[in-house]
Structure 1
Amino acid sequence: MSEIGTPTYYSRVERWECDYNNHWNARYYGRSFQMAAEALATPPGASGPGGATTPLRHLRFHSELFVSAPVSVRSARLASGPHEGAIVHLLSSGDTLSATALDLPGGNAGLPPVDPEDVPLALPRGLDLDPMGDWPAEGRYDLTVPLGPVRPSDLDHTGEMLFEQIIRHSSVSSHAQLNGLGLTPEFSNETGINRMGVEFLVSRGIAPAAGTPLFAKSKLQRIKGKSFWCAHRIVTDLGETVATIEQCLLTVDLNTRKAVAVPDFLYKALD
């Protein structure tokens, strides 16, 4: 993977960027991809287009990163296949591929071309690339949580919400949703079983103004074997969609680091 594409971003994992498992938080993977995307979209001497570069982004997570790990992103353009034209980002630490992203519609003709078979780990697996339209009818186990008002620091230089902030909101709503369904820290401490996000699809809506109160709506969509799927929609107090985040997650035994069957109690939450 180190020879694919062109270098577009470099960073490192800071201690304050890690979560309660001491893993690099998903929002910072997202920030790295966004930095790479905006750098590619900015002509020399110009101000970049900000969040408008990524109306739709697909992400996959492959390996965990810890404090002080080097982070590099290389980017290329899919030259064939059903997602031809999409920009593919490969985030690595040393020789290990840690995460990937596909930005659509893409279209940066100046990037090195790659074929899908060159980047199989970047292609959709548990999610397709058609973003959710209307939010489904409210179910008995759906959850809505208040996220507070938008702060100026949540927005980029164009007024779009930072991609990393979208991921943070989805993490907060996911945490609240799964705690409410029984996948709590106490359950994890007792059984060693927790969840791990492996694939996201993020689609943008409106750009909320600073001061706008936000809410997150969450729905458990389906379960299959060791995987389950959730959707989260960030909305304003008027119900306008800011972003929709669709997730594929695995239940994992933290002691063995292997995927395990989804707990029975989650099945009861399916409408």
Structure 2
Amino acid sequence: MALSPTLYSFTNRWECDENDHLNVQFYFSRFDEADQQFRLISGLSDSVAGARRVRHVRYHKELRTGDLITVHSGIAFDGPHLLTVVHEMRNSGTGALSATAIDGYEPNPGTVKSLRQRFADYQTPMSSDATPRGLSASPASARPALDKLLQNNGALCFRGTVMPRHVNADGKADDQFALSCCTDGVPHVWERSPLTQAYLSQHNLGRVAIEMKLIWHSPLKSGDMIVVASGFTGSQNKTFGMRHHVFESRTNRLAATLDVVALTMDLDARRAVDLPEEARTAISKMVLA
């Protein structure tokens, strides 16, 4: 079956960041809206498939000011989860694939046959473009305590408060809130490496994420205060990894984790460049234990 259209949107100038392209938090907000529409269209719900365990996003081509956006969604039973919802975001002006997201659900294995029948009209083959590449598909099982994280190469990079505008209809903080906290904090993580703001500016480079995996461990509600502790997870020739941990500040309860694969982009050529050797060496010495 063909994917169902679930979003028609537009790239606003105020949503673009210092690299002059759509900030990642707004990709997540659009995937979340597309998912809400898909749930209404298909009848998918937590009571049917359980709560979403993970949202995994890959960025394929930039969206810039004025670009038109569409999202189409479907269910892949041959994906990395027992039930995988696939979202494809395109620049509808050019047809180019801009980003993909997969939402992972783990319903009771005994219900999969009935779920296949129930969602027969919304099934789609798992897309190779949406298949996780730099990050594993499965949710991370480790839930480090804040104090242990700070003792093992993690560092604080953000503090904030959940405001009423950040919560969804269920009264819980949404994906965009988690992403906004991490993206506002991440320059402080980069600053711990040789890839400082001064270095990037000198070489006309931008900070870019190419893959992300968001996992909610426990909900946040309006009025909750949060802190983000982050660190590096490794590096390769062009890319390196980070993991952000969002904690509720009063009890130091882990609320969410965000894994990121990032790179530096030449802002003129709009393409990735190799990491300098000193950056790879420095990052390797700061990997989260």
TM-score relative to the length of structure 2: 0.83
Secondary structure in 1 aligned to 2:247?
A: strand
Cα distance in 2 for partners of 1:137, 1:165 equals 22
| Per-residue deviation, 1:191 | 1.3
Residues 1:206 and 1:231: Cα distance change in structure 2 (over 3 Å): same
CA shift for structure 1 position 251: 2.4
Contact 2:159 2:226 in 1 (8 A): yes
Alpha-carbon contact 2:9-2:70 (below 8 Å) kept: yes
User: Which segment is superposed worse, 139-148 or 212-221?
Assistant: 139-148
Q: 2:135 aligns with which of 100, 106, 127?
A: 127
Aligned equivalent of 2:10: 12
* Rounded Cα–Cα distance in structure 2 between residues aligned with 1:83 and 1:205: 18
> What does residue range 36-55 of structure 1 map to in structure 2 within 5 Å?
36-42=34-40, 54-55=52-53
193, 215, 222: which one pairs with 2:234?
222
Per-residue Cα deviation, 1:56-106 (whole angstroms, up to 9, x for no partner): 100000111112211100001113254352000000012111000000117
Give 1:43 deviation, angstroms.
7.2
Give a deviation string over 1:184-236, Cα, whole Å, max 9, x none: 33211211233310000100022223222100010101011111010001001
Which amino acid is 1:109 matched to?
A: F
Q: Which has the higher helix share?
A: 2
Distance in 2 (CA, whole Å) between partners of 1:127 and 1:188 is: 25
| Partner residue of 2:125 out of 115, 131, 143 | 115
Deviation track 1:131-190 (CA, whole Å, cap 9, x = no partner) reads: 222237545642113422211111112111111111111112212211232423321121
Matched residue, 1:74: 72
Q: Equivalences for 1:22-101 in 2 at 5 Å?
A: 22-42=20-40, 54-94=52-92, 95-101=95-101
Deviation at 1:4, TM superposition (A): 4.1
Unaligned stretches of 5+ in structure 2? Answer: 107-114
| Cα contact 1:144–1:218 (8 A) shared by 2 | yes
Q: Secondary structure at 1:80's aligned position in 2?
A: coil
* Kept after mapping to 1: 8 A contact 2:212/2:258: yes
The equivalent of 1:208 in structure 2 is: 220
Summarize the Cα distance change of 1:256–1:208 in structure 2 as closer, same or farther, 3 Å threshold: same
The question of 1:258 aligning with 2:267 is answered no
2 CA distance for matches of 1:82 and 1:146? 32
2:149 and 2:160 mapped to 1: Cα distance? Answer: 24
Contact kept? 2:85, 2:103, Cα under 8 Å: yes
CA contact (8 A) 1:76 1:89 kept: yes
Distance change (3 Å), C-alpha of 1:248 and 1:223:
same
CA contact (8 A) 1:195 1:249 kept: yes
- Structure 1 gap segments, 5+ residues each: none
RMSD of aligned Cα (Å):
2.6
Which deviates further from its counterpart, 70-79 or 248-257? 248-257
Q: Which residue matches 1:184?
A: 196
Matched, 1:196 2:208: yes
* Contact 2:11/2:22 (<8 A) preserved: yes
Q: TM-score, normalised by structure 1?
A: 0.88
Say if 1:5 and 1:111, in contact at 8 Å, map to a contact too: no
- C-alpha separation in 2, matches of 1:206 and 1:194: 33
Q: Hey, what's the Cα distance between the residues in 2 that align with 1:205 and 1:76?
A: 25
Give me the whole-angstrom Cα distance separating, in 1, the residues matched to 2:124 and 2:252.
Answer: 40
The aligned residue for residue 243 of structure 2 is: 231
Q: How many residues align?
A: 264
Pair 1:243–1:187, CA change in 2 (3 A): same
Q: Could you tell me whether the CA contact under 8 Å between 2:19 and 2:267 is conserved in 1?
A: no
Task: Indicate the SS of the match to 2:201.
Answer: helix
